[in-house]
């Protein structure tokens, strides 16, 4: 772990220790967090649309004064600044988290093949060659489903304290089941409430002959009126094609407002070696979205949309 000593960091540290800009709070309420990814944006307000006022690198430390809808507030250049909480962790839990990842990853892999009474080995996947047929079969395709957040990373916090990490798990089983019924081999990065780093989510996918990586999330925004679903990709034709296929089916099968396909520099998309997409399945900070998200009908529609979106992508390749 390195301590941030860039000019930006010196400004942050000096703010916390020596300037009057830092708020007067009890010391026990201020926590130290570490950046878990490179080029992490520091923004002027808790929104992905807010201006970027700085960058953090892996291992850089910041003091967190408050949390809001998946964001943490710190200080930068003498002013309030915000960082997305899913990219931060507490330093004293890093070693524990690494051990936990190794254990939970193994449990996840074993669970995927319990019905076949055998443990997955990498060779089970290396020789698969998918064939997306006209009847919609995904036989031979290896799909990684990545439920966002987990463990100490709650993700976004919605109306009445609804947690993204828990809400997303209520839909995952339906998605996985639908993909399997279509013939796909499915690996989950987590299947319970435990922390998985961004690096390990990508590692799980890249360790197998994965054909597509799908990260599932719910969205949040300080403005209660913001709503809808959207699909993100990093760059490249295949990533865009996958995201577009998924978004078109989401629009077809659900009643939520469509926010379209967006190019984004998310770590799990940027570092993935296979076509990847990150789906934001609605805003848990919007009353209308949340009321729909929590219904069984919506969960069934989402699983059908994702399954058909994957089929469309492979069929059109």
Residue 130 and residue 184 in one domain: yes
- Can you tell me which residue has the tokens 């913001």? 226
Residue 85 and residue 99 in one domain: no
Q: Binning pLDDT at 50, 70 and 90, where does residue 129 land?
A: low
For 29-50, what is the mean pLDDT?
A: 81
Residue 248 and residue 112 in one domain: yes
Domain that holds residue 177: 95-316
Given a cut of 60, whether residue 265 has pLDDT beyond it is yes
Strand 229-233, strand 258-263: pairing: parallel
Residue 105 and residue 31 in one domain: no
Whole-prediction pTM value? Answer: 0.64
Residue 105 is predicted with a pLDDT of 45
Query: Domain ends where: 71, 89, 107?
Result: 89
Residue 290 and residue 141 in one domain: yes
Q: Could you tell me if residue 2 is inside a domain?
A: no
- Comparing C-alpha atoms, which of 195, 176, 200 is closest to residue 186? 176
- Angle (CA) 221-225-226 rounded to 5° is 45
The tokens describing 286, both together, are 């919007």
Given a cut of 70, whether residue 154 has pLDDT beyond it is yes
Residue 131 is predicted with a pLDDT of 56
Lowest mean pLDDT among 81-85, 101-105, 201-205, 288-292: 101-105
Instruction: Look at 30 and 109; give whichever has higher pLDDT.
Output: 30
For 104-119, what is the mean pLDDT?
A: 41
For residue 219, give every residue at least 6 positions away whose Cβ sits within 8 Å of its Cβ, in sequence order, or none. 156, 229, 230, 280, 281, 282, 283, 284, 285
Collect contacts of 288-291 with beta carbons under 8 A, ≥24 apart: 288/227, 289/227, 289/228, 289/256, 290/158, 290/159, 290/162
CATH code for the domain of 159? 3.40.630.40
For 275-283, what is the mean pLDDT?
A: 97
Residue 85 and residue 110 in one domain: no
Q: Could you tell me if residue 1 is inside a domain?
A: no
Lowest mean pLDDT among 45-49, 153-157, 229-233, 249-253: 45-49
168-199 tens-digit pLDDT: 999 999 999 999 999 999 999 999 899 989 99
Residue 55 and residue 101 in one domain: no
Residue 292 and residue 165 in one domain: yes
Residue 236 is predicted with a pLDDT of 80
Work out how many domains the chain is built from and give that number.
Answer: 2
Residue 251 and residue 207 in one domain: yes
Q: Residue 94 phi/psi, 5° resolution?
A: -65, -50
Residue 40 and residue 110 in one domain: no
In the three-class reduction of DSSP (H, G, I as helix; E, B as strand; rest coil), residue 21 is classed as coil
Residue 37 is predicted with a pLDDT of 72
Residue 106 and residue 50 in one domain: no
CATH code for the domain of 62? 2.30.30.40
Residue 26 is predicted with a pLDDT of 34
Query: Domain ends where: 35, 62, 89?
Result: 89
Q: Could you tell me if residue 46 is inside a domain?
A: yes
Q: Could you tell me if residue 201 is inside a domain?
A: yes
Residue 220 and residue 150 in one domain: yes
Q: Binning pLDDT at 50, 70 and 90, where does residue 12 land?
A: very low
């Amino acid at each position: 772990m390195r301590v941030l000593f860039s000019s930006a960091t010196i400004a942050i540290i000096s703010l916390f220790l020596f300037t009057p800009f830092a708020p007067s709070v009890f010391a026990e309420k201020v926590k130290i967090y570490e950046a878990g990814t490179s080029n992490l944006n520091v923004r002027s307000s808790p929104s992905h649309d807010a201006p970027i006022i700085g960058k953090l690198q892996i291992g850089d430390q910041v003091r967190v004064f408050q949390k809001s809808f998946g964001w943490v507030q710190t200080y930068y250049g003498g002013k309030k600044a915000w960082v997305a909480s899913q990219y931060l962790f507490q330093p004293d839990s890093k070693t524990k988290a690494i051990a936990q990842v190794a254990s939970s990853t193994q449990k996840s892999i074993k669970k995927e093949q319990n019905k076949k009474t055998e443990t997955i080995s990498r060779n089970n996947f290396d020789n698969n060659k998918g064939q997306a047929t006209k009847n919609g079969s995904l036989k031979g395709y290896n799909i990684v489903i990545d439920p966002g957040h987990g463990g100490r990373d709650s993700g976004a916090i919605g109306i009445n304290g609804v947690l993204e990490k828990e809400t997303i798990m209520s839909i995952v089983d339906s998605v996985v089941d639908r993909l399997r019924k279509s013939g796909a081999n499915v690996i989950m990065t987590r299947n319970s409430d435990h922390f998985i780093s961004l690096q390990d989510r990508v590692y799980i996918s890249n360790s197998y002959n994965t054909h597509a990586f799908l990260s599932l999330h719910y969205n949040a925004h300080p403005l209660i009126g913001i709503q809808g679903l959207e699909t993100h990709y990093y760059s490249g034709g295949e990533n865009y094609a996958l995201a577009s296929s998924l978004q078109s089916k989401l629009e077809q099968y659900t009643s939520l407002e469509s926010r379209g396909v967006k190019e984004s520099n998310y770590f799990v998309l940027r570092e993935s070696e296979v076509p990847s997409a990150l789906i934001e399945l609605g805003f848990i900070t919007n009353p209308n979205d949340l009321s729909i998200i929590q219904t069984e009908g919506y969960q069934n529609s989402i699983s059908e949309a994702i399954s058909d979106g994957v089929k469309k992508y492979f069929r059109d390749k």
